Amino acid sequence: RAVTPWLVATFHAPWYNSNMHHHDEAQEVGMREAMEDLFHRHEVDIVFSGHVHNYERMHPVYRRRPTPGAVTYINVGDGGNREGPALGEYPRPKWSAFRLDAERDPMRIFGHGKVVVHNSTHLHFTWHRLWDSARDVGDEVWLGRNDGGGGRP
């Protein structure tokens, strides 16, 4: 990890999401079952997905349980489309850290994310609603890594 301290993966369909749209579809479940142990063992730090036209950030999660040091999943599928945002959520699971619930934010619209890698141990992610100015942050998280190495079990 001296050359590549941050391991970031991206793929279309999210492994974790609590939105009623595209929830636990066959391709999501199959890929998660086939690869989640590999991601955990090799200490992938963060996964960005889309597919669900909405925004949701997960706590570090492994095998559907919040797990300190596991992968942080972020769904940024709210970049815009002709269908509008995907509304409708299941009750919030313990692994869901932030989402915009329709009841609390009925005017939600599209947004975008920004990643700033500050160094080999600190990464900052911010999510901005489309109507907000560049300075207005709808959600943010700092990720930190332990440079001790050793891998996960």
Q: Which residues are catalytic?
A: 22
Please say whether the beta carbons of 143 and 72 come within 8 A.
Answer: yes
Please say whether the beta carbons of 12 and 49 come within 8 A.
Answer: yes
Fill in the amino acid letter for 55: Y
Kindly provide the residue ranges of all beta strands, DSSP E only, lying in 1-153, ordered along the sequence: 8-10, 46-49, 55-58, 61-62, 65-66, 72-76, 96-99, 111-117, 122-129, 139-144
Backbone angles phi, psi at 44, to 5 degrees: -60, 135
CA torsion angle for 53, 58, 60, 66 (degrees, to 10)?
-130
Backbone angles phi, psi at 61, to 5 degrees: -140, 145
What residues are paired with 115 via a beta bridge?
125
